[in-house]
Structure 1
Amino acid sequence: MGIDAATLSAIIFSMLGLCLLIGVPIGYSLGIATVAGLYFSPIPLIYIAQTLYTGTELFPLIAIPGFVLAGDLMIRSKITDKLIRLVFLSVGNIPGGLGVVTVVACGLFASISGSGPATTAAIGGIMISAMVKAGYPPAYAAAVTAAGGTLGVLIPPSNPMIIYGVVADLSIPHLFVSGAVPGLLLVAVLSAYCYITGRIRGLRGSGEKLTLPKFFIAFKGAIWALLMPIIVLGVIYTGMATPTEASMVAVLYTMILGFAGRTLKPSDIFEAMVTTGKLTGAILITMGPAMAFGKLLTMYQVPVLLGQGIGELTSNPTLLLLMVGGLLIIAGTFMEGLSTIILLTPVLLPVLKAAGADPVQFGILLVVMMEIGFLTPPLGVNVFVASAIAKLSIEEISKELIPLIAVLLLYALVIILFPTISTWGYHYMTGR
């Protein structure tokens, strides 16, 4: 039997909402909602099986396990320790210096891992205890680490950028370029927050003065680790390798460093691959049904109808982005970030493009709002990681998180009001 777009929308969104309400994982919820829609449409059910296959075989998706594996191997190889030591010497001896060290170190690790929780775990495992020993409030140390960990999804290579590029049909290397400036700017913003709060609250620096001999020793120890993001991103931007191939370069480079420094064992590789496999499996379980869900909506022109409805409220792209930002804040409190991108991009992107909004700006905004979702319980993945390391409850950390979340919200507003920050890189690289 045939149904119209309004009826189909009511069926699949009602089923999706019901599944999410009773706690069904997002990937299964999307699959159930799609099957419900197909049941009442003339499209055969084999459609979902075909889309599940084609949605998960996309070549760019292979980059995600590659970068995650490289980041995990870096932790096990103690390479992050050398990076932290260099940053510690460079900016540690200022008011709030250990907070600044945490943020900058998160930025460096983010340029390799592409994952927010992994960045929080890698840097937090060292810096939370260091801050507590230096007299920083434990909740503050955990909150700064969780906020710094959000840089893992904005600074390239970014796993969410890869997902968004696939769903929105945009060049992933060019999206990486677009994420670089907003990512570095956010490092500066969070570092400034740590410095200002350090001065106000009397949080001292490391107490270790920077000298040239110490700096050169630390730089010598970290030089090979510092070269890694330069090499990996360099082969992407120069066109020598795709993001997927570059992720394998990152894995091989990390293994060479680990074995050369005798800090990596064969058992570490096995354990890292198991961890990466679990994460990748979770992503693919969501990605396949989401692609089927999005294509079904497109076939019935649901985004077009949604766009017409929203267009009656406003056709101003800035106002639309503000409205979407509010929606993403709500979604981020209960929906995992990658799932949010996969679910909402097919629905919202056509609406925004029709109003004249830039899809690259929307992608950067999505990722920034995803960062806020990392800090907002009940989902708040980074908060749970930091609380486990600091051995504190979520409630204890939340008070210190409020001003950091406010900083990220203001930053999201800047992204909306000044689109050039997020779009110039993409359009410069593509010549459009």
Structure 2
Amino acid sequence: MKSYEVNFDGLVGPTHNYGGLSYGNVASQSNSQQASNPKEAALQGLAKMKALMDMGFVQGVLAPQERPDVAALRSLGFAGTDAQVIEQAAKQAMPLLVASCSASSMWVANAATVSPSADTADGRVHFTAANLNCKYHRSIEHPTTSRVLGAMFADQQHFAHHAALPAVAQFGDEGAANHTRFCRDYGEAGVEFFVFGRSAFDNRYPAPQKYPARQTLEASQAVARLHGLSDAGVVYAQQNPAVIDAGVFHNDVIAVGNGEALFYHEDAFLHTEAMLKELSDKLAARGGQFKAICVPRSQVTVEDAVRSYLFNSQLLSRADGSMLLIVPQECQNNERVWNYLQGLTAANGLIREVKVFDLKQSMQNGGGPACLRLRVALNETELAAVNPGVIMTAPLYGSLTQWVQKHYRDRMSETDLADPQLLLECRTALDELTQILKLGAVYPFQIN
């Protein structure tokens, strides 16, 4: 039976703005308070989805969230009508209003951790929504994320959904941004790779000194248990604390894996050699041949990696066995990074081609091509069980483009977030979107 790795990209929400909410994310903080363009952001994301579909990859869409999150504001003491809640928050606590308007759910690499059926004890695809509790504006996402994923992957014969881990620091979970999977074939048993920044209970693991380590070892272990993964199919690795302090807030900013290959920076991990050996041994036991592609610091510095998002790229397998790297335009604009990529493809090795995409609106808020997608490995039967409304087609691309053109503003500043009309615009757009994607009622305003 044929299997696929399907990329489900996050659709940028109508309130896309540069709130500078993510401490530790250099791009997010450096562009704080600049005016954004939600319409352009959504269209840039859709263009990437369509391009991958046109290249023959199976591509899906993951819906954005309702913003502003009025229920979250009410839980913090603001009262009255929805318009009054927004007005009060704008006057009394503007940072809370900005947080409630964050469109960060567009980066669906943080939505959940996914384990394919070939790896799990019960033979189903498992999803655990990420609690994202390190940042308030992201911690409010997982209830809606769970409903949206449940509407996309509804067949309980094939799909299992787990609630987010306890929302405490000891179980900080950032989803697939710190998780990847190695395998000979997407339908065969593989090795799941969990990367953590710190341990909550074991002080033998060093922690960063400047920026927070968002993923804990304990959270990764809990997800592996929930998904029914065997010890033979799991490797845990610690991120280098020094690169976290350099702005590498998730592993997918410094490494990306696919198939049998790990593409990573020389400074990405602690105890790199031991980790690579464990990955190689465990993948070999499952019939695979692990391949490590290390980018030396002498050619690309950590600062270059953070500024260009070289590793926040999509590494995709092609029919001839070679791989394609999808990178943001910022890689082309960085001379050292671009020279490295030209040499990489000229070597005629595993990565044969690099394609560049303009994702400036997302990049300025701290997310690149890899942040925008959640990877789900599915066999043919499982793919047939996915809600067909969320699988990208030419007609769906056309419908979503028209939907964005109709509902999105082309400028968004902090003052615009206080406009109560924005909430009505967002709800009108999302109500129509759920019909386009055939999701049913997934948003609070549709349920309550």
Answer whether TM exceeds 0.5 for this pair: no
Higher percent of residues as helix: 1
Q: TM-score, normalised by structure 1?
A: 0.26
